[in-house]
Structure 1
């Protein structure tokens, strides 16, 4: 089910008060649900020695959320300087950070090496020559190409911009060895929002088999394999959740068998983002307008700058009308105020009849919601709130202001006349 029942029980009785106090729109996250999911993940993979989750910072890059992850003992998966700063500010150092590069600049490599460094996860063999100083621990992202199929979000691996090809993999590690690396990991990410747990089982099997191939060629014993993220959540009410228990049992068995056959087993790490926080966040917005033309439209005070997944991916997000359970229904488009026709949270959706002033709860905004926001059309990103375990509601990011929007127009004047222009 979208939005956990427990989160709904905690939020529903107080949502009107919260909206009256803070104003709409806002994202609100559930501390209890996030912690419960994190502990369930740790229990599920406790049978694999050294298991580690690296929370994908891109999913929900808020310092208070990262603090929860750090308190649960999780590391952080980063791919930019601001994400590295966020992770280090949360207390992570060294191998608690996985820096996955993608068309990485020299500035980014240098920053990643500072303040205790990180695990360097290289996206391409060509980057080896661009790393200023090769760390002792290096990982490569593997792209299986035609050996695996992706899913609808991540696409066909052959067409993906990510990763080292199958034929490049051994050579990538050989070159890394020559440049001074002496500790190694292996990473892949071939699915996104996948609900079929067997896909992750096969990904684990694939990485363990690859580690054997590389070890035979180069004598490398991998310290860890990183199966990536991609654990799905059920956005639609009819979808079944990912079977975490079955998945963990089968993956744990693969690692146990590998240890029997090889006398050791690498650690398993992952970088879940959506799975950790997605169901534990909602976007709360208020109905402000009705329009009847060729369709019926209900306008709200949020727009796709607050949650762009429906417009970008044609993604479904469940919508609930607060206090609307007993009302008659109608088919509408639920829309925002952006000057783009795809600024829609729901298209031809049957919902309880909505009155102006009603609160609407758009489910599963806890990952890739606020984080994917933007300022096009001068629409500003909303505030973020955290529903604490003791019932308090904490403002963890204020809404953007007009002053924020114009801040980058305040700078020291600078003009430059290139010599070649006369």
Structure 2
């Protein structure tokens, strides 16, 4: 079930009042669900001392959400200088931050090493020489190439732009050692939204094998292994939930075996984003138009600038119409926005209850890579975000964009260059 029964039962009776107070469209996130998922994650890996979740800021970069993660004891996986700023503003510093970027420039390295620094996870062997000051702890993102398969979102590792190739890895650590590194991590990220827990177990097994190999070659021990993120969520009704307990049990056994054979045990880190917040957010829109041509189109007051996953990946997001049941009759419709692109659709030929103008629609599982992937094509403005607190209050945590926001980058001091002078 995409949206938890608990979230639905608490939210749906309040939606008309919330929509009247704040106006549609809006993303709304469930604090209760987020905290429950965090507690399950910590409990699952409780046997591994030093286990730490680094929440992937790119999934939902809102300070209120990050403060919840910080309160649960999680760190942050950041991909850019602004994401580092957000995480630091949430109260995290130093090794509570993991900076995993690619094609990194000097300004980003400077931001990463400012204000107490962070854990640097380097994506390319060429970056070793470009780090302004080599930190004591260094990590590399490993790309196994043909040794593993990826999935449709991240792609075949051989074709992926991410990571240090297998044949480069020993030299990468050797160069880092020569520049002064003394503690070491190993990271990978091979799949996204993966529902098969065995794939993630195999990834950890691969990382531990690589750690053995590097240790044998260079004599170094690993402070931590970062298995990345990629834990999937059940977007479709028929999808089975990710088996967190089975994954954790198998991974704990791998680490215990590693310790028995190698005489030490690295800490386990992970960087789940979607798994932490994806199921705990929905996009609430209002039907504003019905169009009957070759198909029936239900137009809503948001566009794919608020949720681009269906257009970008062909992704499915379950939709419900609160107060209406399919038992009273259904219709097959496309649910669309007003963007001047034909892929501006939240659902294609979806069977839904009869939708009338002014009905509210709840587009589910938007708590990750929803608002975060927004854009402004056609000068469309991104919607507001709300937080449904555990005490029942609803808070505005990001206002909707305005025309003034859109035009802000056109306000600047004029500059002009006459080439050759």
TM superposition score category, shorter chain reference: over 0.9
Q: In 2, distance between residues paired with 1:22 and 1:336?
A: 20
Tell me what 2:415 maps to: 414
Q: In 1, distance between residues paired with 2:310 and 2:378?
A: 18
Tell me what 1:348 maps to: 349
Tell me what 2:171 maps to: 171
Matched, 1:123 2:123: yes
Structure 2, gaps ≥5 residues long:
none
Indicate the SS of the match to 2:165: coil
Aligned length: 420
Indicate the SS of the match to 1:99: strand
Matches within 5 A, 1:322-341: 322-325=322-325, 326-341=327-342
Q: In 2, distance between residues paired with 1:213 and 1:99?
A: 25
Tell me what 1:8 maps to: 8
Q: CA deviation at 1:19?
A: 0.3
Structure 1, gaps ≥5 residues long:
none
Indicate the SS of the match to 1:157: coil
Indicate the SS of the match to 1:139: strand
Kindly provide the CA deviation profile for residues 99-134 of structure 1, in whole angstroms up to 9, marking residues without a partner as x: 012000101101110100000000000011111111
Matches within 5 A, 1:90-169: 90-169=90-169
Tell me what 1:320 maps to: 320
What root-mean-square deviation, in Å, do the aligned CA atoms of Structure 1 and Structure 2 show? 0.7
Tell me what 1:367 maps to: 368
Q: In 2, distance between residues paired with 1:15 and 1:2?
A: 18
Q: In 1, distance between residues paired with 2:384 and 2:320?
A: 20
Tell me what 2:378 maps to: 377
Q: CA deviation at 1:340?
A: 0.3
Indicate the SS of the match to 1:362: strand
Q: In 2, distance between residues paired with 1:299 and 1:164?
A: 46
Q: In 2, distance between residues paired with 1:316 and 1:245?
A: 26
Matched, 1:51 2:51: yes
Q: In 2, distance between residues paired with 1:273 and 1:101?
A: 16
Q: In 2, distance between residues paired with 1:253 and 1:47?
A: 10
Indicate the SS of the match to 1:287: strand
Indicate the SS of the match to 1:247: helix
Indicate the SS of the match to 1:168: helix
Q: In 2, distance between residues paired with 1:358 and 1:89?
A: 39
Q: In 2, distance between residues paired with 1:118 and 1:100?
A: 10
Kindly provide the CA deviation profile for residues 346-395 of structure 1, in whole angstroms up to 9, marking residues without a partner as x: 00111101000000000000000000001110100000000000100000
Q: In 1, distance between residues paired with 2:289 and 2:48?
A: 54
Give the alignment's TM-score, normalised by structure 1.
0.99
Indicate the SS of the match to 1:242: coil
Indicate the SS of the match to 1:119: strand
Indicate the SS of the match to 2:167: coil
Indicate the SS of the match to 2:328: coil
Q: In 1, distance between residues paired with 2:80 and 2:245?
A: 33
Matches within 5 A, 1:368-407: 368-407=369-408
Q: In 2, distance between residues paired with 1:11 and 1:101?
A: 37
Kindly provide the CA deviation profile for residues 180-209 of structure 1, in whole angstroms up to 9, marking residues without a partner as x: 111100000001000000001000100011
Q: CA deviation at 1:260?
A: 1.0
Q: In 2, distance between residues paired with 1:204 and 1:247?
A: 10
Tell me what 2:216 maps to: 216
Q: In 1, distance between residues paired with 2:322 and 2:6?
A: 16
Runs of 4+ aligned residues of structure 1 deviating over 3 Å after TM superposition are none
Tell me what 1:264 maps to: 264
Q: Which one is further off, 68-77 or 148-157? A: 148-157
Matched, 1:60 2:60: yes
